[in-house]
């Protein structure tokens, strides 16, 4: 017999679209066949339909639901019974499964919708042959008939597969089935930095610096292959729960939907115009410069770094055009002005990353990696340290006072005085009497 809490949790899970009704029924059947009153949430986790984190979130929602229901029964609630709606704590970009046709890809079992990328829907799925969770990105039907979008989609898959790096979401396979273009990538259990920032406030400086260092290493790896991401932003950085010897988290760069591989690729996207996300676009992206390189990614990562340690974007405006114009014309408010708690070392790095002229930024991700490593070890960034060692600028020379021949080496000559009447000018004290 199902417990009341299990029935309620099942309804919340289906309404919030964490799982399907069929998956709930499958767990109910397992519960009945086993003869054990094991919680349905535990069975969903064991079958891979939920993560421990997702279950914890839903149990919190269930508790809040019961509190509100209790208030209603006691006459203190404002809503009629049965109208309390569960709110799913997912990224702002997530879609419901009803908005798209669930793909049928051989060898994979679709579990749920994770969210939307630049051009497609991302699903969590089970790879049946390896019994592991993966993410599957499917090109949206409205783009599937456009060969330019198909080419870009395949390029994203190709770049993701080639960039084998611990801080880049790994691509695994690409294909087409039943007219649907898809590619398979590793499933990353974690939160997007954008979701953390949307809660408001700045993030911890050291933790932010560690994350930016990890993404800088990812850019350094991409730079070796001549790949420019072109859409670095908080929503494209996933913070996992992996623990290493030096960090309590791992940052991974995802969504290579706007990646540019080389100059040869420009003929595929020759009419694409301005691309990127306004609050994090470099000035050269705003101006649709064809010669965009890794320094543009460094700028976008700098805008992300600024947002993380300050709690607000470096440039804002009432419209998209105002934001874009600000990137090219408005003076940058130093991070320390908006958040006095930021160290001078971190502020130096952020400002250099956000230099308007790309020639004034870090020229390669490797330079950035070095400075971030120095900061995390309590030392000054290279450029900041060199500036401190440089001799102070020479001031304009002042007129040298005239020294009397008869004066001692420490005495300055006194000014000449005109006599009160006739005679030669006196030197020193007034004319003696007598």
- Taking alpha carbons only, the member of 401, 416, 386, 310 closest to residue 354 is 310
Domain layout of the chain by residue ranges: 4-73, 97-186, 191-389
Query: What are the residue ranges in the chain where pLDDT is below 50?
Result: 1-2, 68, 72, 76-99, 244-246, 262-272, 398, 404, 406-413, 430-434
Question: In 10 A of CB 426, how many CB atoms?
Answer: 15
pLDDT of residue 148: 76
Domain spanning 191-389: which superfamily? Answer: Transferase(Phosphotransferase) domain 1 (1.10.510.10)
Q: Please indicate whether residue 231 is annotated as part of the active site.
A: yes
pLDDT of residue 68: 47
- Taking alpha carbons only, the member of 203, 209, 167 closest to residue 377 is 209
Residue 139's DSSP bridge partners are 120
Q: Apex CA 252: angle with CA 303 and CA 346, to 5°?
A: 40
Q: Please tell me if the domain spanning 97-186 has the same topology as the one spanning 191-389.
A: no
5, 62 in Cβ contact below 8 A?
yes
pTM over 0.85: no
pLDDT of residue 63: 60
**pLDDT tens across 225-262, in order?**
888 888 899 999 999 876 544 456 789 998 775 656 54
pLDDT of residue 73: 54
**pLDDT tens across 253-263, in order?**
987 756 565 44
Report d(CA 97, CA 16) in Å as an integer.
Answer: 11
- The correct CATH number of 97-186 out of 3.40.50.20, 3.90.1010.10, 3.40.50.1400, 3.30.200.20 is 3.30.200.20
Torsion on CA atoms 35, 38, 43, 45, rounded to nearest 10: -160
Candidate list 6, 195, 231, 235, residue with the active-site label: 231
pLDDT of residue 2: 47
Q: Is 242 exposed, middle or buried (0-12, 13-18, 19+ CB in 10 A)?
A: middle
Report d(CA 275, CA 233) in Å as an integer.
Answer: 13
Which segments of 151-294 are extended strands (E)?
A: 171-177, 180-186, 190-192, 237-240, 250-253
Report d(CA 426, CA 418) in Å as an integer.
Answer: 6
320, 247 in Cβ contact below 8 A?
no
């Amino acid at each position: 017999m199902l417990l009341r809490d299990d029935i309620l949790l099942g309804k919340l899970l289906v309404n919030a679209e964490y799982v399907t009704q069929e998956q709930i029924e499958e767990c109910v059947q397992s519960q009945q066949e086993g003869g054990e009153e094991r919680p349905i949430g535990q069975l969903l986790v064991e079958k891979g339909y939920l993560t421990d984190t997702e279950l914890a979130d839903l149990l919190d929602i269930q508790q809040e639901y019961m509190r509100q229901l209790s208030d209603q029964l006691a006459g203190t609630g404002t809503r009629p019974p049965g109208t309390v709606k569960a709110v799913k704590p997912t990224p702002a970009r997530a879609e419901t499964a009803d908005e798209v046709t669930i793909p049928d890809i051989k060898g994979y079992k679709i579990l749920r919708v994770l969210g939307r990328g630049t051009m497609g829907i991302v699903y969590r799925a089970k790879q049946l042959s390896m019994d592991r969770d993966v993410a599957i990105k499917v090109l949206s039907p409205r783009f599937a008939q456009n060969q330019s979008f198909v080419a870009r989609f395949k390029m994203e898959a190709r770049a993701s597969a080639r960039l084998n790096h611990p801080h880049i979401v790994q691509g695994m396979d690409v294909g087409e089935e039943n007219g649907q273009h898809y590619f398979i990538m590793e499933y990353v259990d974690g939160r997007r930095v954008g979701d953390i920032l949307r809660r408001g406030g700045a993030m911890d400086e050291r933790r932010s610096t560690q994350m930016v260092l990890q993404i800088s290493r990812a850019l350094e790896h991409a730079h070796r292959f001549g790949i420019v991401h072109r859409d670095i932003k908080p929503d494209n950085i996933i913070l996992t729960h992996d623990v290493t010897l030096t960090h309590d988290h791992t940052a991974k760069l995802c969504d290579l939907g706007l990646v540019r591989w080389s100059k040869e690729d420009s003929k595929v996207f020759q009419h694409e115009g301005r691309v990127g996300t306004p609050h994090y676009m470099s000035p050269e992206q705003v101006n649709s410069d064809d010669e965009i390189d890794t320094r543009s990614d460094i700028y976008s990562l700098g805008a992300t770094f600024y947002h993380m340690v300050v709690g607000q974007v470096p440039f804002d405006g009432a419209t998209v055009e105002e934001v874009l114009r600000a990137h090219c014309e408005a003076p940058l408010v130093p991070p320390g002005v908006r958040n006095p708690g930021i160290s001078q070392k971190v502020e130096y790095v952020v400002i250099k990353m956000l230099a308007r002229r790309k020639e004034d930024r870090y020229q390669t991700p490797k330079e950035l990696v070095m400075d971030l490593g120095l900061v995390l070890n309590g030392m000054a960034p290279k450029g900041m340290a060199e500036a401190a060692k440089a001799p102070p600028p020479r001031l304009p020379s002042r007129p040298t006072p005239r020294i009397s021949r008869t004066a001692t080496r420490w005495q300055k000559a006194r000014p000449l005085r005109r006599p009160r009447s006739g005679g030669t000018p006196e030197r020193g004290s007034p004319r003696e009497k007598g």
